[in-house]
Amino acid sequence: MSFSLEEKFDKMKNVRDQVLHLKESPLYEYRVQNKYFPVVGEGSLVAHIMFIGEAPGKNEAETARPFCGKSGKVLDEMLESISLNRSDVYITNIVKDRPPENRDPSPEEIKIYAPFLDEQIDIIQPKVIATLGRFSMEYIFNRFNLSDKLGTIGDLHGKEFKIDTYFGSVVIIPLYHPAVTLYNGSNKDTLVQDFQVLKKYIQYL
């Protein structure tokens, strides 16, 4: 089933409202205490390329925008390298609230927020899902019955995996999280090369 832009907007607003009031989340009180925002997602609701990260950091939780800190600058640079703007794609995370101290999301947190990500995928109906980091890679591979293909992100980054969904075929491309370039500058060249794989799919835009 496809949705009109108005329907997509209403459905995404409903996702936002549900996340905003997700009191059963183990991260809810931490969000309230720090006056943070949930970070639901940003970009085009008719995007053909969807980026999925892991969880928001401090900058993101303060602004309600995904990838707006140092990692976001790297992501913007990668998008520019293949002549894409943020407005052309949709960017989100599995976990919609910031874990304390930017720690990795826990299995419990992924489980409670994953249904919202699933709904966002159904709303966007992308042609390409680019995962950013190992947590989103593992979740998406398991979600779309690719668990037999799972390996380390070091083995799988930049590779293409085609799946069939009710809304058509989708290509899943695991990518390193942009933060890896902040810890090790040599990873930047790898990320640039991997983003070139996305170039062939820009024809969908």
Q: What is the pLDDT of residues 105-155, one digit of tens each?
A: 999 999 999 999 999 999 999 999 999 999 999 999 999 999 999 999 999
184: confidence class by pLDDT, cuts 50, 70, 90: confident
Query: Considering Cα of 153, then 155, then 156, then 159, what sign does the dihedral take?
Result: positive
Q: What is the CATH number of the domain that holds 12?
A: 3.40.470.10
pTM: 0.95
Read off the pLDDT of each residue in 184-196 and give the average, rounded to a whole number.
88
Residue 6, class by beta-carbon neighbours within 10 Å (0-12 exposed, 13-18 middle, 19+ buried)? exposed
Q: Which amino acid is at 55?
A: A
Give the pair of three-digit tokens for residue 140: 């998406």
What are the tens digits of pLDDT across the range 62-92?
999 999 989 999 999 999 999 999 999 999 9
The range of the structural domain enclosing residue 116 comes to: 5-204
Do strands 90-93 and 42-43 pair parallel, antiparallel, or not at all (unpaired)?
antiparallel
Which of 3-12, 156-165, 167-176, 195-204 is predicted with the least confidence, judged by mean pLDDT? 195-204
Mean pLDDT of the chain: 94
Cβ(172)–Cβ(160) below 8 Å:
yes
Report the distance separating Cα 94 and Cα 58, nearest Å.
16
> What is 8-71 written as a DSSP string?
HHHHHHHHHHHHHT-TTSTTHHHHHHTT------EE-TT-SEEEEES---HHHHHHT-SS-SHH
Read off the pLDDT of each residue in 49-69 and give the average, rounded to a whole number.
96
Cβ(127)–Cβ(88) below 8 Å:
no
Single out the residue of 191, 202, 60, 62 nearest to residue 133, CA to CA.
191
Total tally of structural domains belonging to the chain: 1
